[in-house]
């Protein structure tokens, strides 16, 4: 399965501020439907960048609560089709939460994390509490991570159109990065990569190039993160859910600095 950054070159016409026109070449990221099949059971079709697919498969299963340990994923087979990709996942039946295998009735768009859920209970399921951590992350460390993240995004440097999700140590040093056209799939890939490395996620934090919605909070909580920092501020629901499970949220403040949200919003 591909682990590179799939892209293509397109021709365009640049219109600058002086109304001048010139031909340009532009690198575009690849986006394709990825069908996830668990033990022959179709689960979801997600729009994503077809790279780091094994990380995506493992991260999706963990972040969606379908499995709760990386060891439960026994095998991943990726098959490229004319329309996209099939990811056939062999999962230990004894470690599978079949209640989370409700097929999505519509495809998951690259910008959406809840497409196709069938009722409100599916939209807001119970979440584990964040693990207490002795690691303290300073606002300066979060700000540093935001500042250096672009240097760790080769696909975005080429295309200027994909999200990044990065795991950082307590000092703000970026350790692992995954990119995707979808913010949720970028986080899934990061979760999968970290699960494969057995890295203690409570000793660092996640920084993302996206807004913070409740779906990202849900994935972060299931993955065991204690702090999630995003470019834009969280929604009220995201902050409320994060407060209930003990997940700290932070957002970048322009032109510099960060805002740390300690708990639920004030009414």
Active-site residue list = 112
Say whether 237 sits in a helix, a strand or coil: helix
Say whether 96 sits in a helix, a strand or coil: coil
**228-to-167, 187, 201, 202 alpha-carbon distances in Å:** 10, 11, 11, 11
Alpha-carbon 14 to chain mean position:
32
Residues paired with residue 164 on neighbouring β-strands, in sequence order: 179
Query: What is d(CA 263, CA 246) in angstroms, rounded to the nearest whole number?
Result: 8
Tokens at 11, concatenated: 């021709």
3-state percent breakdown (helix, strand, coil) of the chain, nearest 5: 30, 30, 40
Query: What is d(CA 125, CA 219) in angstroms, rounded to the nearest whole number?
Result: 11
Contact between 49 and 185 (Cβ < 8 Å): yes
Residues paired with residue 26 on neighbouring β-strands, in sequence order: 10
For 2, phi then psi, to 5°, come to -70, 140
**234-to-214, 250, 262 alpha-carbon distances in Å:** 8, 8, 12
Sequence-distant (≥ 6) Cβ neighbours of residue 173 within 8 angstroms: 145
């Amino acid at each position: 399965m591909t682990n590179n950054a799939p892209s293509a070159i397109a021709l365009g016409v640049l219109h600058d501020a002086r109304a001048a026109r010139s031909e340009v070449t532009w690198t575009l990221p690849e986006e394709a439907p990825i069908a996830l099949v668990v033990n022959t059971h179709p689960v979801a079709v997600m729009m994503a960048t077809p790279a780091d697919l094994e990380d995506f498969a493992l991260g999706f299963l963990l972040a969606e609560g379908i499995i709760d340990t990386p060891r439960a994923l026994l095998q991943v087979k990726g098959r490229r089709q004319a329309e996209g990709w099939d990811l056939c996942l062999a999962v230990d039946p004894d470690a599978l939460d079949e209640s989370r295998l409700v097929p999505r009735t519509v495809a998951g768009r690259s910008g959406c994390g809840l497409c196709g859920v069938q009722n409100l209970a599916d939209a807001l399921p119970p979440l584990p509490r964040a693990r207490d951590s002795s690691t303290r992350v300073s606002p300066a460390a979060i700000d540093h991570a935001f500042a250096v993240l672009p240097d760790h995004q080769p696909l975005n440097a080429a295309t200027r159109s994909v999200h990044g999700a990065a795991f950082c140590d307590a000092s703000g040093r970026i350790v692992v990065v995954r990119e995707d056209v979808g913010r949720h799939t970028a986080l899934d890939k990061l979760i999968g990569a970290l699960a494969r490395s057995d890295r203690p996620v409570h000793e660092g934090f996640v920084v993302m190039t996206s807004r913070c919605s409740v779906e990202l909070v849900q994935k972060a909580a299931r993955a065991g993160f204690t702090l999630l920092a995003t470019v834009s501020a969280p929604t009220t629901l995201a902050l409320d859910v994060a407060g209930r499970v003990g997940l700290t949220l932070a957002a970048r403040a322009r032109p510099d600095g960060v805002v740390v949200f300690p708990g639920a919003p004030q009414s």
